[in-house]
Amino acid sequence: MKIAVLDDWQGVAQANADWDKLRARGELVFFPDAFASDDDAVAKLVGTDIVLAMRERTQFNANLVRRLKGVKMIGTTSARTLSLDMAACVEMGIVVTSTSSGPGTPATAEIALALMLNAMRGLDQAHANMRAGKFQMGVPVGFACTGKTLGLVGVGKIGSLMARYGIALGMKVQAWSQNITDEAARAAGAAKVDKDTLMATSDVISIHYVLSDRSRGMIAAADIARMKPGAILVNTSRGPIVDEAAMLVALRAGKITVGLDVFDKEPLPADHELRCLPNAILTPHLGYCVQEVWENFYPEHVENALAFLDGKPIRVSNPEVLQKR
């Protein structure tokens, strides 16, 4: 019996659950780094019976799932399984389990707020100055939040929290989404506007949207071109929602500033241009990555794996597989 714990990028898995009962049942292997490719994943997971994944860090597309010979269970964290081809798992007879989400929603909203404030006040440069023995020289002159306009792309749970933060800071809040209603905007404390208005009149635009075929590339070149000079674009949702090439054009021209916690490819390649642009404030997809979430995800991973090994699986996302067993 071999159990693989994937994508432990911060090295937090072992400290946040009691793994001893699983160790007693088989070989337990922790993977701190992302797989380079599907081929790499297949090679490293040879002989694995249970895979415990972390959110969408490894993309379990249909091709990969079908190549994972011998895998009997894949554990995911949180209820959504957007990175996993459920139909392929059913086809292969693989049980998929999930965990509850913990406080990932407010944690992600807090990262969005932090990126916005950093971009408005140049805190990253101020910190670098202090580390280098300097003081104010070279730190950009910032802007107060009061009186500025915060534009929200999406007012679901995270977007609604961001609206509350903006209001508390004295900002005018407006919102747009593909399906937004007057009631939803009003409930969030935001004015409903059309997309063009939001892009053209917001001082800060913060994206809070689920990635889907419909939302991929939703913030397109024409939208970025409408942004006010000096406007800030914050993305803590998913990188592909924004046209990266168009965003890079605007960044090179110095027209906008971005605060990004998510990227088209993750981990962000070491040589990616975004790492070199002074008007790009970057964090390594830390949105949900707080201690309280780890204390939720990993113990439930262990519980799910033990229950599966005992023949009594819990938190199963594809119960139809159990009927075939």
The per-residue DSSP string of 53-87 comes to --TTSS-B-HHHHHH-TT--EEE-SSS--TTB-HH
Sorted by sequence, the CB contacts under 8 Å of residue 324 that are 6+ apart come out as 93
Across the chain, what does the average pLDDT equal?
97
What's the topology of domain 2-102+291-324? Rossmann fold (3.40.50)
Active site residue 238: yes
Residue ranges of domains in the chain: 2-102+291-324, 104-282
Give the mean pLDDT of 102-106.
94
| Nearest residue to 84 via CA among 61, 68, 116 | 61
pLDDT over 90 (residue 82): no
CATH of 104-282, one of 3.40.50.720, 3.40.50.300, 3.40.50.150, 3.10.450.50: 3.40.50.720
The confidence score (pLDDT) of residue 236 equals: 99
Angle at the Cα of 37 from the Cα atoms of 32 and 42, rounded to 5 degrees:
80
The confidence score (pLDDT) of residue 162 equals: 99
- Token pair in block for residue 282: 């970057």
pLDDT digit string, tens, across residues 204-223:
999 999 999 999 999 999 99
Choose the catalytic residue: 55, 57, 208, 238.
238
pTM of the model: 0.95
Do 2-102+291-324 and 104-282 agree at the fold level? yes
The confidence score (pLDDT) of residue 78 equals: 81
Q: Kindly indicate the confidence band of residue 202, based on its pLDDT and cuts at 50, 70 and 90.
A: very high
pLDDT digit string, tens, across residues 240-268:
999 999 999 999 999 999 999 999 999 99
pLDDT digit string, tens, across residues 222-240:
999 999 999 999 999 999 9
Active site residue 266: yes
Neighbouring C-beta atoms of residue 293, cutoff 10 Å: 24
Choose the catalytic residue: 25, 80, 226, 266.
266
Q: Distance between CA 248 and CA 235 in Å, rounded?
A: 14
Q: Distance between CA 42 and CA 35 in Å, rounded?
A: 9
Choose the catalytic residue: 55, 57, 208, 285.
285
| Nearest residue to 150 via CA among 259, 263, 270 | 259
pLDDT digit string, tens, across residues 157-176:
999 999 999 999 999 999 99
The confidence score (pLDDT) of residue 324 equals: 75
Sorted by sequence, the CB contacts under 8 Å of residue 41 that are 6+ apart come out as 35, 58, 64, 68
- Token pair in block for residue 64: 């990969």
pLDDT digit string, tens, across residues 290-301:
999 999 999 999
- Token pair in block for residue 44: 């490293």
Sorted by sequence, the CB contacts under 8 Å of residue 311 that are 6+ apart come out as none
Active site residue 91: no
